[in-house]
Amino acid sequence: MPLTLIAGTFRIVGASPDGDSVRFYPHDRQAFAHARIAVKANASGGVQLRLDAIDALETHYTPPHTSHSWHQRPEFGAGAAGALLRELGFTDVTRNTAGTVTAATPTTVDGYILTRFADTYGRAVAMVFAADPPAGTRDGGPLFLDVDGLHHSVNHRLLAAGWVYPTFYSKLYVDLRADLAATAAAARRAGTGIWKLDATTAGFTVVSRDALTEDLVILPKLFRRLAEYLSLDETGGVDLTGFPAFLTTLDDRLFTVPTGQATALDTLVTVTDNPSGAGQTVTLTVPPEQTVFLES
């Protein structure tokens, strides 16, 4: 099944792009409707993109039922956001204290995306390209993306450079997923970017909330679940005794590759007490590129 090619411009002034999400304005404002992709567009036709297959450290995540925003280690969260904008062709980007872009050179960049669905938040899930569409293609038309083409995407480049984690969902084509998984594994072996400090599968101790937001480098999906759980404790503590039970209440269904085991995130996360009594150690027992989540 092909993806839909949609040409347009990337605009960042007035928005708060992070390492895996950016605002896109299609040339044809009806392009998503014609493709039957249910996105949420602003008054000018702009839509938020979620870059497929990757997940950057959080720069501002607000768990449900709270107004407090959480972030991950800034050098990699903000670093991934900067890398995304450079890959798109933006320079001299300035932001205000809230993280909103106030100026950039140029103000818009032409490019195209390949997509076939939107997530539950109305964001188009897409492979992103900062280039002219391939010769012989048409705006709004189909395009088969092979592995060679994937390597030209911003998604792949950020993953190869170690700025982002692999996070796969079941609608990602198998051949593309296999290449992206190999790319992530290679970046880990090389100790590139986030992989220098990644503690997701080695295990990490949460001694304080500050350590979680300022020091630890872990899979963003796991970070978000920890932030959601800890936000339920208004005392500011970091007792993770109930974290496994909390995970069972969520709809994080997945299967593992290559085993094909159908399970849920809670079965792959362990929480153990440290013998010294200093905090608890959380471990994801399967590498991120060997898990494939089911879309909600």
pLDDT value of position 262? 97
Residues 220 and 135 in one domain: no
- Rounded distance between C-alpha atoms, residue 137 and residue 2, angstroms: 12
Averaged over 106-130, what is the pLDDT?
97
What local confidence, expressed as pLDDT, does residue 278 receive? Answer: 73
User: Into how many domains does the chain fold?
Assistant: 2
- Mean per-residue pLDDT of the chain: 95
pLDDT digits (tens, 9 = 90+) for 36-78: 999 999 999 999 999 999 999 999 999 998 888 999 999 999 9
Q: Supply the pLDDT for residue 234.
A: 87
**In Å, what is the CA distance from 14 to each residue of 11, 52, 279?**
8, 23, 41
CB 22 within 8 A of CB 12: yes
At 240-269, the pLDDT tens digits run 999 999 999 999 999 999 999 999 999 999
What's the pLDDT band for 275 if we cut at 50, 70, 90?
confident
One domain for residues 229 and 281: yes
Give the domain-ending residue among 162, 195, 228: 195
Characterise 191 by phi-psi region: left (phi > 0), alpha (psi -120 to 50), beta (else): left
- For residues 259 and 207, membership in a common domain is answered with yes
189 and 205 housed in the same domain = no
Domain that holds residue 23: 3-195
**Same-domain status, 150 and 31:** yes
Select from 173, 195, 217 the last residue of a domain: 195
**In a shared domain, residues 173 and 223:** no
207 and 190 in a single domain? The answer is no
What pTM did the predictor assign? 0.96
CATH number for the domain spanning 113: value is 2.40.50.90
In whole angstroms, what separates CA 261 from the centre of its chain? 23
Q: Is 173 exposed, middle or buried (0-12, 13-18, 19+ CB in 10 A)?
A: middle
**Of 195, 220, 251, which marks where a domain is finished?**
195
Query: Is residue 135 located within the same domain as residue 222?
Result: no
Question: Averaged over 15-44, what is the pLDDT?
Answer: 96
Task: Quote the DSSP letter at residue 288.
Answer: G
Quick check: 193 pLDDT over 80?
A: yes
What dihedral do alpha carbons 195, 201, 203, 209 form, nearest 10°?
Answer: 70
> Same domain for 177 and 90?
yes
**Residue 283 and residue 237 share a domain:** yes
pLDDT above 70 (res 1): no
Q: Verify that 30 and 120 share a domain, yes or no.
A: yes
What pLDDT, on a 0 to 100 scale, did the predictor assign at position 296?
75
Q: Are residues 57 and 202 in the same domain?
A: no
Q: In this predicted model, what pLDDT tens digit does every residue of 91-111 receive, in sequence order?
A: 999 999 989 999 999 999 999
